[in-house]
Structure 1
Amino acid sequence: MVKTIRVSQEFHELVAAHKHEGETMEEALRRMLGGPSPEMLERALAGGDEDAAAELREIVEHGRERSRDRATELRDRFEDAES
């Protein structure tokens, strides 16, 4: 199944500028956002590939850590602005 998303011309150009030779826009976005590759995700979800499953768990935990760090940063900035 394929979904289409709207992005600004500026954002499209940014992704295109960072896209590697032979890489699709989806692959470039996943790489830039730190998401799992479609191949690794497929192996992890199919079962039996412990390395892929461990890598997926690591990616998820890293994303959670980044979210917590970002939330802390935003909270600190908000509190500093109120002072």
Structure 2
Amino acid sequence: MSKSVRISEEFHEFVTAHKHEDETMEETLRRLIGGPRPEDVAGILSSETATAMRDRLEGAHETDAEAKHELWERFE
């Protein structure tokens, strides 16, 4: 099931500018906001899905930290 969310043109442009080529918009938003938190989805994921998510997050965490730092530096 999917839902529609209204966002401003500026925010859409921001998200689009930070979208990786292989990502969906949902994946980009999740990466940018850092969610969902594990406690929010505890008990609703299969162990295989949880393991896959954990592995992907561990690999992406360092890259995301670098990207956020670069973005922060641009606004200094």
Structure 1 length as normaliser, TM-score?
Answer: 0.47
**Which runs of 5 or more residues in structure 2 are unaligned?**
55-76
The structure with the greater share of residues assigned to helix is 1
Aligned positions of 1:11-50 closer than 5 A: 11-36=11-36, 45-47=45-47
Cα separation, 2, equivalents of 1:22 and 1:50: 21
Displacement of 1:48:
5.9
Specify the alignment match of 1:59 in structure 2. none
Number of the residue aligned with 1:70: none
Identity of aligned residues (%): 56
Structure 1 SS opposite 2:6: coil
The runs of 4+ residues in structure 1 deviating greater than 6 Å are: none
Q: TM-score, normalised by structure 2?
A: 0.51
Q: 2-side partners of 1:35 and 1:14: how far apart?
A: 18
Count of aligned positions: 48
Whose Rg is larger?
1
Q: 1:13 to 1:45 in 2, by over 3 A?
A: same
Cα RMSD (Å) of the superposition? 2.8
CA 26–50 in structure 1, closer or farther in 2 if over 3 Å, else same: closer
